[in-house]
Chains A and B, each alone.
Chain A
Amino acid sequence: GAVVSQHPSRVICKSGTSVKIECRSLDFQATTMFWYRQFPKKSLMLMATSNEGSKATYEQGVEKDKFLINHASLTLSTLTVTSAHPEDSSFYICSARDRWGIGGELFFGEGSRLTVL
């Protein structure tokens, strides 16, 4: 089946630094990827839609300058948390859809746990 890979799976950083999380579709092309944030014992919240070759579309309340998204190719989207603070600590999950797939299933990465000290 289709695989979406996220890297790193865990990252710890100091407050004020920036962290980049990668989301790759390993065996399919994805014109659109989605970034979610999951708080402890909570549901997933859609942060933004990443569009290949164009600007990301952010959900209401999500800071564009804080969470930079780049979708430079059909298999890679990156989320950069800039000037991270402890409140940015969370589990970030990406998902992608095979542009040529039938059925439109979204495939999810295994998530990246960010801890900001």
Chain B
Amino acid sequence: AQSVTQLDSHVSVSEGTPVLLRCNYSSSYSPSLFWYVQHPNKGLQLLLKYTSAATLVKGINGFEAEFKKSETSFHLTKPSAHMSDAAEYFCVVPNFGNEKLTFGTGTRLTIIP
């Protein structure tokens, strides 16, 4: 079975500083992996996805993530945080066939002005 572990429930960074949201995965095969963002009382928006092509994946709003098989990690980064980045971020792994999604517990990102 596939699973993901988000290592931080809450991350706070100052505006303009780098963002790092950590995610480790567990899978019996090389998985697809997604990052979704959820703004307050809103649905989820896909930030980026890894599907066994390039290990460095670029997403929307300046975010990117690197798939590291040796570390079983898929951490989300952004060079410079913006106030609008404040939201909940979910690392997600789909099951084989990309039907059902298993969500991590989420990381709440707070941006300090």
A43 close to chain B: CB less than 8 A: yes
Within 8 A of B (CB), among A1-27: 4, 6
Query: Given A43-B90, A43-B106, are A106 and B43 also a contact pair (CB < 8 Å)?
Result: no
B7 close to chain A: CB less than 8 A: no
Q: Is chain A's binding surface mostly helix, strand, loop or mixed?
A: strand
A93 close to chain B: CB less than 8 A: yes
Could you say which interface size class chain B belongs to? 10 to 19
B31 close to chain A: CB less than 8 A: no
Which of the 9-residue segments B20-28, B69-77, B93-101 touches chain A? Answer: B93-101
Instruction: Specify which chain A residues have a CB less than 8 angstroms from the CB of B41 in the assembled complex.
Output: 91, 110-111, 113
A56 close to chain B: CB less than 8 A: no
CA gap between A6 and B43 in the complex, in Å: 10
Which of B43, B46, B108 contacts A93, CB < 8 Å?
B43
**Contact status B45-A108, CB under 8 Å:** yes
**Contact status B99-A111, CB under 8 Å:** no
Q: Give the top 9 A-B pairs by smallest Cβ distance, nearest first.
A: A110-B43, A108-B43, A108-B44, A43-B103, A104-B98, A44-B103, A43-B105, A109-B43, A111-B43
Additional A-B contact list (16), CB under 8 Å, known A104-B98, A113-B41 = A6-B43, A34-B100, A42-B105, A42-B106, A43-B103, A43-B105, A44-B103, A46-B100, A105-B49, A106-B46, A106-B101, A108-B36, A108-B43, A110-B42, A111-B42, A111-B43
> Which residues of B are in contact with A by a Cβ distance under 8 Å?
36, 41-46, 49, 90, 98-101, 103-106, 108
